[in-house]
């Protein structure tokens, strides 16, 4: 419908989905997990991990009061970090909704804060020029008609497992109504991030849920009717949409049957999506940057998560990382936006990205004096560090030059870059090679 023919080469991109070019170009997004679980502060799954029933979970609703949530500030952090789009949780598995829904009382406007926070966040992000994605949970542990399965907080309560009192169709109608509200009342939404399907799971007394249970085809149709240009992820269990590997860096996801796919790695800073006070598994800023670069070097997007705390503030550990990434992005955005995998093979400890005839060499581990880049002999016209545009001089094989023991040997097909002894003062130095 909307998709130019060049996009049809992606095997996970049907032609009735929106045009994904902005997404492929932008490469870097911010995931935001925020809900009642932010106040529990021990991972967004604690309701089910601790098998908490609705009554006991209600205290998080009663005391929810993110009084320090300033959407503009979130948006400024996002913008400065260098992301181009944001994916915000409208509802997570706990079932609490972050907007003023007409379909449930379990919503943000019925908490102490009383405001439609989703509206504020969307407005603020748009003002910063960021595109908007909605994460929406297919799973709902609050809805009385959602059939209990092995992931549900009440899974051990055998008396509650009975199907008699639960009607999944009623739940799906509710789910569709939510989607209708979200895609009607909040302007143009660029990306819908459904979560998640688990039809392969089987607990004996219950099976996991997937496309049949969610009535995914209907959901997909509704979404596209309401927002024809929207992008969809792959978690409806329909075997299409943006692939979303989570919490690992795929070794090789760029090609299936030798055809490219559109994909996005989603990653936490510390292993938890929701705010987790006592979790100290923080990845360093350098590690996160390397993950971003590694993803783009394999034609993927990177969706980096933050979990603001119960007062609606982004905690210091996350802020430090967002700032460090933003500082690197300020100087190196050229190697990320609009860049993709290169056909050249990167030297050891390095990653390439490429944008047209500019090749970007990201140096993960600083070597001594030389980097030999293969396959580029006669192809390079100029080289510089990206952060300060200082020339990087290079040498090529020359049959007339005698190679002495004080100089490196140059392969006929290689270019040798001459590096300063000291690593430049940026976390991941990038050399920009202009190709002939």
Binding-site ranges for ligand GLC (CB under 6 A): 44-45, 195-196, 246, 266, 273
User: Considering beta carbons, is residue 45 or 214 the nearer one to ligand GLC?
Assistant: 45
Torsions phi, psi for 8 (to 5 deg): -70, -10
CB of 9 to ligand GLC, least distance (A): 26
Q: What separation, in Å, do the N-terminal and C-terminal C-alpha atoms of the chain show?
A: 38
Contact by Cβ (8 Å): 181, 222: no
The distance of closest approach from Cβ of residue 15 to ligand GLC in the complex, given in angstroms and rounded to an integer, is 27
Kindly calculate the radius of gyration of the chain based on its CA atoms and give it in whole angstroms. 24
Q: Residue 116 or 195: which CB sits closer to ligand GLC? A: 195
Residue placing its CB nearer to ligand GLC in the complex, 42 or 126: 42
Is the CB of residue 436 less than 8 Å from the CB of residue 380? yes
Determine phi and psi for 244, rounding to 5 degrees. -130, 65
* Residue number, 175 or 266, with CB nearest to ligand GLC: 266
Query: CB of residue 245 vs ligand GLC: minimum separation in angstroms?
Result: 9
Quick one: 44 or 220, whose CB is closer to ligand GLC? 44
- Stretch (H or E) spanning 134: strand 131-137
Query: Strand ranges (DSSP E) for 207-306?
Result: 231-232, 255-256, 259-260, 263-267, 300-306
Shortest gap between Cβ of 206 and ligand GLC (angstroms)? 17
CA atoms within 13 A on the CB side of 249: 15
Nearer to ligand GLC, 195 or 213 (CB): 195
Handedness of CA 403, 405, 406, 411 (dihedral sign): positive
Collapsing DSSP to helix, strand or coil, 49 comes out as: helix
Closest among 361, 359, 374 to 412, alpha carbons compared: 374
- Least distance in Å: CB of 278 to ligand GLC? 18
The number of helix segments (H) and strand segments (E) in the chain equals 11, 16
Q: Please give the Cα distance from 343 to 364 (Å, whole number).
A: 19
Closest to ligand GLC by CB, 19 or 315: 315
Shortest separation between residue 138's beta carbon and ligand GLC, angstroms? 10
- Give least dist CB 197 to ligand GLC, A: 10
For ligand GLC, the closer of residues 268 and 427 by Cβ is 268
- Choose between 216 and 339: whose C-beta lies nearer to ligand GLC: 216
| DSSP label at residue 315 | P
Q: How far apart (Å, rounded) are the C-alpha atoms in residues 352 and 392?
A: 17
Find tokens 């016209």 and name the residue.
381
Smallest distance from the beta carbon of 137 to ligand GLC, in angstroms? 8
Q: Which residue has the tokens 């927002």?
A: 227
Phi, psi of 383 (to 5 degrees): -140, 140
Report, in Å, the least distance between residue 7 CB and ligand GLC. Answer: 24
């Amino acid at each position: 419908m909307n998709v130019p023919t060049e996009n049809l080469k992606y095997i996970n991109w049907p032609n009735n989905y929106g045009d994904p070019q902005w997404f492929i170009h932008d490469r870097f997004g911010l995931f935001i997990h925020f809900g009642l679980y932010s106040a529990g502060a021990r991972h967004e799954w604690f309701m089910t991990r601790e098998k908490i029933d609705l009554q006991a979970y209600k205290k998080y609703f009663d005391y929810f009061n993110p009084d320090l949530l300033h959407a503009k500030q979130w948006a400024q952090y996002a913008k400065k970090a260098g992301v181009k789009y944001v994916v915000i949780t409208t509802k997570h598995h706990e079932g609490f909704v972050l907007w003023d829904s007409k379909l449930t009382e379990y919503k943000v406007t019925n908490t102490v804060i009383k405001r439609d926070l989703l509206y504020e966040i969307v407005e603020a992000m748009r003002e910063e020029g960021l595109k908007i994605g909605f994460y929406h949970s297919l799973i709902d542990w609050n809805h009385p008609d959602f059939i209990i399965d092995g992931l549900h907080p009440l899974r051990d309560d055998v008396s509650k497992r009975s199907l008699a009192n639960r009607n999944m169709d009623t739940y799906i109608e509710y789910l569709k109504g939510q989607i209708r509200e979200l895609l009607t009342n909040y302007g143009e939404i660029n990306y819908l991030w459904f979560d998640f399907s688990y039809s392969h799971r089987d607990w004996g007394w219950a099976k996991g849920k997937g496309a049949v249970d969610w009535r995914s085809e209907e959901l997909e149709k509704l979404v596209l009717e309401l927002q024809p240009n929207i992008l969809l992820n792959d978690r409806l269990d329909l075997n299409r949409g943006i692939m979303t590997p989570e919490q690992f860096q795929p070794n090789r996801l760029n090609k299936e049957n030798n055809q490219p796919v559109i994909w996005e790695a989603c990653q936490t800073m510390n292993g938890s999506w929701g705010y987790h006070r006592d979790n100290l598994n923080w990845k360093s800023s350098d590690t996160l940057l390397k993950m971003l670069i590694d993803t783009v070097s394999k034609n993927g997007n990177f969706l980096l998560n933050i979990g603001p705390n119960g007062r609606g503030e982004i905690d210091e550990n996350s802020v430090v990382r967002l700032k460090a990434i933003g500082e690197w992005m300020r100087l190196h955005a050229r190697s990320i936006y609009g860049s993709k995998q290169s056909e050249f093979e990167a030297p050891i400890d390095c990653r390439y990205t490429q944008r047209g005839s500019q090749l970007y060499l990201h140096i993960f581990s600083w070597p001594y004096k030389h980097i030999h880049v293969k396959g580029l002999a006669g192809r390079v016209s100029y080289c510089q560090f990206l952060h300060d545009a200082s020339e990087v001089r290079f040498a090529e094989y020359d049959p007339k030059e005698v190679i002495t023991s004080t100089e490196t040997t140059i392969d006929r097909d290689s270019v040798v870059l001459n590096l300063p002894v000291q690593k430049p003062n940026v976390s991941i130095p990038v050399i920009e090679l202009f190709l002939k």
